[in-house]
Structure 1
Amino acid sequence: MKIKKEYIILVLVIVVLSVYLYQRSADRTQYELPEIPAVNEKELTKLEITKGETVLVLNKKDDKWYIAPADFPTDANRVKDMLDAIKDFNLTALVSESKNYNLYELDQGQKISVKASQGDQLKLEFDVGKTASSFRHTFVRPSGEDRVFHARGNLKNAFDVTVDSLRDKSVLTLKAEDIQEFNINKAQQSLAFTRTQVPVEVNTQDDAKPGAAEPSAPKAVWQAANGQPVDEPAVNQLLNALSNLRCEKFIDDRKKEDLTSPLFAIELKGGQEYKLSIFPKTAENDPNYPAVSSGSDYPFELTTSQAERIMKEPTALLQAPQADQEKTE
């Protein structure tokens, strides 16, 4: 009788375990993650980013991305972030089936909708919500899904963009070492500077000694058109400030030709010619200076600190007279 009772208990335990395992398996099936199609980001030709009433469209032409409809050039790094996020888009967990989308910033007013296409073929579509508290995942809703999932990575940073943040803000790109001459105009003063090769002074007595080193090659120095000695560090500082110049923002309601009478203008020549003109502030309290350059088809603004580093008086690039140096010392 005792043995029979133990068998009954054992059978009950087996039944309970079987039911538990079955339900667990059923739960896994119920919460199976949807399959996300693989996307080759190099084959994409169009991106569409929608937030609220704003629709931002990017088109790929000749391996470069442009913002429609004006075909503004884009910041390559920002576009790469978006393409990488699309390529690596991956769901990691089911978060909610309640359809309470506002909790995850996936409601109509807050979500960011992303469409990635190759030609006329839509390759991937999903909605981006807020970033999880860990900042390692983002709440998302793939196309055709009512459920909310976690996706790996901070997708909000990649896709929460505007036309201004996506535009390429490089307005002048040059190599300081390639520049051979430049001319500055400021406050009705104009002065040209030329990089010239000069021989290095050598000690003739040392050269006459056996085993003396070969004479040094001529070195490049800057010379001013007025014959005064040039402050080489000041010139190098100016050229470095211009070498990879990025604007603060673009001016959309004016054309380049609308800006006249610059406060400061500089023309440089090397492998090609470069120009930059900086104009008076529109209002005294404005934080930025309007400007135009040969490196941009659009007028733009430079911050006050940027402009002040560039707008040097021509005489500021000259060495102080010897008498003034002695007084300073």
Structure 2
Amino acid sequence: MKNKKLYISLGIILICALVLAVNSFRSPSVPSLKAWKDAADEIVITRDGKDTGIALKEGKWQIGEKAFPADPETMTQIENKLKNLKLAELITDKPPYERYELEGERAVRVRVKAGGALLRDVTLGKKSSTMRHTYVRLGEAPEVYLATGGFDEITKPVEELRDKTVMKVSKGAIESVEIVNKGIRTRLVKQIEEKKEESPEKDEAVPEGPVREKTKKVEKWTLDGNPAARVDEGKLGQALASFDPLKAMSYSDQEVKGLAPLCTVTIRAFDKNMRLDIFKKLDESKYLCSSSESPYPFTMDSWKVENTIIKVADEIVKK
């Protein structure tokens, strides 16, 4: 009886060993990719046969020959995802690759370099049916793998990698704001006032002594030339918050030189004036704009322009 059980156990072990051997023979091991140590300074994205270089210069990523600033958060995500790339499963070791979108116009090849040395070379295809993995190839190797996660930051159009920040100023740093809308100029100035607190405190060291009056600094906005006018500081605060940061909807190739703005916002902060010019409405969704803090014309969402800037300019001073 004991021998019979022993033979059964040995048989099970032998079958398991055979299964493992067969699987190992049929499915080569998935390589483990090492994260690089040197800081990357160049990323080349190839889509539909066209290369776009993104270079790190003076600590900032710049896109293409025109050196458009790249969004720093997006570039950090891209670098981290490629550095920590993990392969989960081997799918095939030969073409065709169309079904995985690893060739043709949908395939995106990414090469990461440091000092000219290649750190990573990977082609990204479509996501798996579970949306948790992505089909990839390494360099010119024929194998197709499933890599963990998605790579939407890399596969989106290069235009969307640009830094959309066109002005950034915190509300607390703003000293004054001037809005010229429909020919009407409204200038508001921030003043700092000392205000007594409602509950004065007694000095605990001298309980019989006089009550100490505490004060705190309070911001107050007034209309230039008419300090008695009532300012809707709630609406003003919402408008100013939209400049921290102010982001473009997209960049535009349209020339703005010589155009007369429909509305202008000038903010005084950090000992300088920063200006936003809102030009014509291009369509129902966007306006053409420019900023003194960006050399590139851009568009802004029409709802944001009309409701947080133009409408506020009309309603900011209470009647």
Instruction: Tell me, yes or no, whether TM beats 0.5.
Output: yes
Q: Report the Cα offset of residue 192 of structure 1.
A: 1.6
Work out whether 1:153 is the aligned partner of 2:154: no
| Structure 2 CA distance for aligned equivalents of residues 158 and 270 of structure 1 | 34
| Structure 2 CA distance for aligned equivalents of residues 253 and 71 of structure 1 | 19
Q: Which residue number corresponds to residue 274 of structure 1?
A: 274
Aligned residues: 302
| Structure 1 CA distance for aligned equivalents of residues 315 and 37 of structure 2 | 50
Residue 202 and residue 103 in structure 1: after superposition, are their counterparts in 2 closer, same or farther (change >3 A)?
closer
Residue 151 and residue 216 in structure 1: after superposition, are their counterparts in 2 closer, same or farther (change >3 A)?
same
Cα pair 1:186 1:265 within 8 Å, conserved: yes
| Structure 2 CA distance for aligned equivalents of residues 199 and 37 of structure 1 | 61
2:182 is aligned, of 159, 182, 187, to 187
Q: Which residue number corresponds to residue 323 of structure 1?
A: none
Cα pair 2:278 2:290 within 8 Å, conserved: yes
| Structure 2 CA distance for aligned equivalents of residues 199 and 20 of structure 1 | 82
More strand by share: 2
Q: Which residue number corresponds to residue 205 of structure 2?
A: none
Residue 311 and residue 154 in structure 1: after superposition, are their counterparts in 2 closer, same or farther (change >3 A)?
same
| Structure 2 CA distance for aligned equivalents of residues 42 and 131 of structure 1 | 29
Q: Report the Cα offset of residue 110 of structure 1.
A: 2.7
Q: Which residue number corresponds to residue 61 of structure 1?
A: 57
Q: TM-score, normalised by structure 1?
A: 0.82
Cα pair 1:41 1:83 within 8 Å, conserved: no
Residue 281 and residue 40 in structure 1: after superposition, are their counterparts in 2 closer, same or farther (change >3 A)?
same
Cα pair 2:197 2:216 within 8 Å, conserved: no
Equivalent position SS for 1:318: coil
1:129-148 matches, cutoff 5 A: 129-148=125-144
Instruction: Spell out, residue by residue over 1:145-201, the C-alpha distance to the aligned partner (whole angstroms, 9 max, x if none).
Output: 21211111113x132122221000011111111111121111111122111133437
Give the partner amino acid of 1:261: A
Q: Report the Cα offset of residue 22 of structure 1.
A: 5.5
1:298 is aligned, of 288, 296, 299, to 296
Q: Which residue number corresponds to residue 43 of structure 2?
A: 47
The gaps in structure 1 that reach 5 residues or longer are 1-5, 321-329
1:162 is aligned, of 138, 157, 178, to 157
| Structure 2 CA distance for aligned equivalents of residues 202 and 176 of structure 1 | 24
RMSD: 3.0
Q: TM-score, normalised by structure 2?
A: 0.84
Structure 1 window deviating more from structure 2 (68-77 vs 235-244): it is: 235-244
| Structure 2 CA distance for aligned equivalents of residues 314 and 102 of structure 1 | 55
| Structure 1 CA distance for aligned equivalents of residues 148 and 47 of structure 2 | 21
Residue 140 and residue 199 in structure 1: after superposition, are their counterparts in 2 closer, same or farther (change >3 A)?
closer
Cα pair 2:189 2:223 within 8 Å, conserved: yes
Higher alpha-carbon Rg: 1
| Structure 1 CA distance for aligned equivalents of residues 304 and 280 of structure 2 | 14
Q: Report the Cα offset of residue 38 of structure 1.
A: 2.2
Q: Which residue number corresponds to residue 66 of structure 2?
A: 70
More helix by share: 1
Equivalent position SS for 1:242: coil
| Structure 1 CA distance for aligned equivalents of residues 92 and 314 of structure 2 | 68
Work out whether 1:111 is the aligned partner of 2:107: yes
| Structure 1 CA distance for aligned equivalents of residues 72 and 310 of structure 2 | 29
Give the partner amino acid of 1:281: K
Q: Report the Cα offset of residue 37 of structure 1.
A: 4.7
